[in-house]
Every structure is written in C-alpha cells, then in structure tokens.
Amino acid sequence: MGKPIGIDLGTTYSCVAVVEDGQAKVIANKGGYRTTPSVVAFDETGRRLVGHLAKRQMIANPKNTVYAVKRLIGRRYDAPEVKRAKAMYPYDILEGPHNDVRVRIAGQELSIPEISAMVLQEMRQVAEEYLGEPVKEAVITVPAYFNDNQRQATKDAGKIAGLEVLRIINEPTAASLAYGYGKKLDETIAVYDLGGGTFDISILEISEGVFEVISTAGDTYLGGDDFDDRIIDWLSETFQKQEGINLRKDRMALQRLKDAAEKAKCELSSVPQAQISLPFIATSEKGPLHLEVVLTREKLEEITADLIDRTISICEKTLDAAGLAI
C-alpha cells in the first residue's frame, strides 16, 4: 500500500501534500506550481483539460470550461446559491433527475462530484509522479461549515477519482495541525481562512499535542470569487455607462472581465492602483470598443467593504462562542 496523501480541494485552486520526515510537504505539479487551478475543460477535439491547461483557454472556450464547482457540490438545484451561480458563471448549470446540480460541458451532462473527481484525479497524478508509486488513499479537506450532503458529495468525488477517502477534515483544523504538529505548544489559536469561494474561522486550543476545536463558523459562499465579482460588476457598469452595452450578456467578454478582475485584485495587494486594459471587448455601429480603466486600492476597498464586514461579524460571533474577546 502506497503513502496516503492529503488534498485541499479548493474553489479556485487545489493542492496535494504528503508527510515526509514528520512534516507535510506540498508537492509541485509538472509546471513547478504548488497549487493547481480547480478548472476542468474540454477542447474542440473532446480532449479533457484540467488545471493550468484548462485555465489558459477559459477566455476562448468559456462554455466548455467549468470552475468553482465547490460552490455547487452537495447542493440542491433549487438552492439560492445555485441560482446565484447560474447568474455568475458562463457555463450551463442544469437540474439533474433528483433535484441535484449538473453542468453541461462539451455535449455531456456531468454531476458536480464527477467534475470534482477530475480535479482530484489530477492531484492524485501529481502525487504519483512525485512518489513514483500508485496512490490509493487520501484525506480531503472541506470548509468547516460544509453540511453532511456537501461532505458526502466530496467523499463521492474521491471515490470516483479512484481514492479511498480515509477522512474528511475541516480546513481550519487541518491548518492548525500543520501549524502545531510536532511542537510542544500550549496556546489558543484562531485560524482565519478566506479562500477562493468559502470563509471559515476556527478557534482551537492546543495542549500537549492535543488539538481541540472550541468554536467554528463560516460562510460557504464568501471568498475571493466574490471580490472578483464586485470588480466585474464595477467594470461592467462603467462600460455600460460609457457605451450602453452590458458585457455580462456576452460569455466571452464576461470571461475576459473575470480574468482581468482577478489579475487586478492580485496587483492591488502590492501597488496602489491597477491598469485594466481590454481591447476589442465589444463592437458597436461605430466599430470595435475598448475598455480602459484604472482601479485603485481605495475603490476596491469601497466596493468590497461589506464582504470584509461579513468576515469580521463571523469572527466576532466565533470569539463570543469561545468565550474570548479581542
């Protein structure tokens, strides 16, 4: 039996790790990256693409590129979160035979666990290439606030990927284990995990190598994608005021907006403003139209203030539940 692996199946990126010499080692993929985009696509020949290859062709092939399915896993089709996803994403989201969620991609209707399994298979392959042996067992992390249906659907995805899922672990708990494993700590810690699609906070007590979760809370529909979407809204509204065209109605334009929004958000972590330039984003009777704007960090903070406030409110409730105060 080969080594078991740990997989962080994320909304936007996933990674895989193995224990070596008592420490968790995150394994780099073929491109040298320690994280892999949680993106699945099929090209015009029907070839399946996962990870960086899938993400690179998102703009040209938006209808057959699926991402952020973690926001859909284990949900019923009539859930409000699914309705929001249908409005946000360019790929087709359909109702399955049992009120479950399906996506149409390259003429196929696939369940969400099937899509997630393709990402898990990619992470398994990364581990197998590094270890030089087959991998059969895995621990998979999920947001602390995932319900039983979401946890079971994640486990189902692991099974489809050919993995025996040894355990489903909450993401903040996994982070605290990585932080405190092998250390003689006696302290209370908070893990604030704002991911691509979900937010969690957990308060844990560590004493003599024993980890106890005191309180946990979160929002399974709050993450970096929502920050991107606020930027997309701002870009779309700016362009509509200037040109009278709603870019959200054009799948390819929407994908270009998403790509530009994510890049601008990352840039603004280190610089006070980001230049967004999208030539030939649309056409009109006057000819081709271009989107040229500057997004400042101040503007980003303004349009996302309520998202940050939501995380702070959740943190305060979690601290109260743990009997702690800042």
For residue 271, give the CATH number of its domain. Answer: 3.90.640.10
User: Does 65 fall in a domain?
Assistant: yes
Same domain flag for 117 and 248: no
Same domain flag for 44 and 138: yes
When pLDDT is cut at 50, 70 and 90, the band that residue 209 belongs to is confident
Marked catalytic residue, from 100, 122, 156, 171: 171
User: Does 103 fall in a domain?
Assistant: yes
20-54 confidence digits (pLDDT tens) = 988 889 999 999 999 999 999 999 999 999 999 99
Its sign, for the CA torsion 48, 119, 100, 64, is negative
Same domain flag for 112 and 244: no
Calpha distance 124→27 (Å, rounded): 11
User: Does 313 fall in a domain?
Assistant: no
When pLDDT is cut at 50, 70 and 90, the band that residue 9 belongs to is very high
140-163 confidence digits (pLDDT tens) = 999 988 999 999 999 999 999 999
User: Does 96 fall in a domain?
Assistant: yes
User: Does 202 fall in a domain?
Assistant: no
Would the pLDDT of 260 be above 80?
yes
Average pLDDT on 178-194 reads: 86
Same domain flag for 114 and 15: yes
Residue 118 has a pLDDT of: 99
User: Does 232 fall in a domain?
Assistant: yes
Q: Residue 236: which domain range?
A: 224-303
- Domain end (from 170, 194, 211): 170
User: Does 178 fall in a domain?
Assistant: no
Residue 1 has a pLDDT of: 65
CATH of the domain at 71: 3.30.420.40
Higher pLDDT: 211 or 14? It is 14
Residue 179 has a pLDDT of: 82
Same domain flag for 240 and 163: no
Active site residue 70: yes
pTM to 2 decimals?
A: 0.91
91-103 core/surface letters (b: 16 or more CB in 10 A; e: else): bebeeeeeebbbb
Structure tokens at 22: 């008592």
Active site residue 148: no
Contact 57, 37 (CB under 8 A): no
Marked catalytic residue, from 70, 155, 258, 265: 70
Active site residue 8: yes
Average pLDDT on 120-128 reads: 99
Active site residue 21: no
Same domain flag for 47 and 154: yes
Residue 322 has a pLDDT of: 94
